[in-house]
Amino acid sequence: MLKLYEHPLSPYAQKVKLSLYEKGIEFEAAMPNLFGNDQEFARVSPRREVPALVDGNTAIFDSTIILEYIEDKWPKPPMLPESPAERARVRMLEDLCDTYYEAINWGLAEVNFFKRATGDLANRITEAAAKQIAGVHQWLERELGNREWFNGASFGWGDLSVLPYVNGSVGFGFAPSAGSRLAKWHAAANSRPSAKKCAEAVAPVMAGFQQASTLIESGAMVREYRDHRLEWMMRSGGKQVVLDGMEKKNIRFHVDIT
């Protein structure tokens, strides 16, 4: 059976789980030990990031590469549209959500769950995030157009690439505008059994976030700041958050590959 290293709150892992559920592929979900020296996880995911997929002797990291592997090995039902142009369109949706939208929700988690900032600083970062989310939702509304699904006539790659991020924003109080096409799509997507299964896995881990700020402050939990996340925090008013995290050693960048 497939083994998927994941965390229920990870939108990258949720993308993969949505595809597996939609295709009816059985898998074992496992959360790596992020507080210890998990050698097996390090072997299959050198960057210590979820998701990572193990299929027999094959180990794959990076959510997009995993989705491509799943599509190559289990092409039915297809998650990608038929035409090259439409495939490119949904892949661009995925790329923008993975590298731009994800960072906004991640930054809101840093403030709301991990208490990296309070008072005026937290308010300024949240205001920046709110403005950016509104812009993303406007763009998504245009990209959806008159389609029923981002993928076209049926749920697929475009939809599973967008849904985890819109759900993340909703969790912070930033939902698609009422009555919008995006709001209608969001409700329909969340009604699917695959989305419900992902949501069911989220609830049990949310309780642990009550102690998240304590774990960060003690250094027991170290959050990853790199690439789009680091850039987002720096350009959205969180320079001091980064400096404080570096001083306290409760943020990290790339791990050394050995």
Quick: pLDDT tens for 211-231.
888 888 888 889 999 899 999
Percentage of residues of the chain with pLDDT beyond 90: 86
**Residue 35: its pLDDT value, please?**
67
What lies within 8 Å, CB to CB, of 121 at 6+ separation is 237, 238, 240, 241
Model pTM score? 0.96
Q: Is the pLDDT at 63 greater than 90, yes or no?
A: yes
Confidence of residue 210 (pLDDT cuts 50, 70, 90): confident
Q: Is the pLDDT at 146 greater than 80, yes or no?
A: yes
Instruction: Give the chain's domains with CATH numbers.
Output: 2-73 (3.40.30.10), 84-208 (1.20.1050.10)
pLDDT tens readout for residues 71-126: 999 999 999 999 999 999 999 999 999 999 999 999 999 999 999 999 999 999 99
Across residues 41-62, what is the average pLDDT?
95
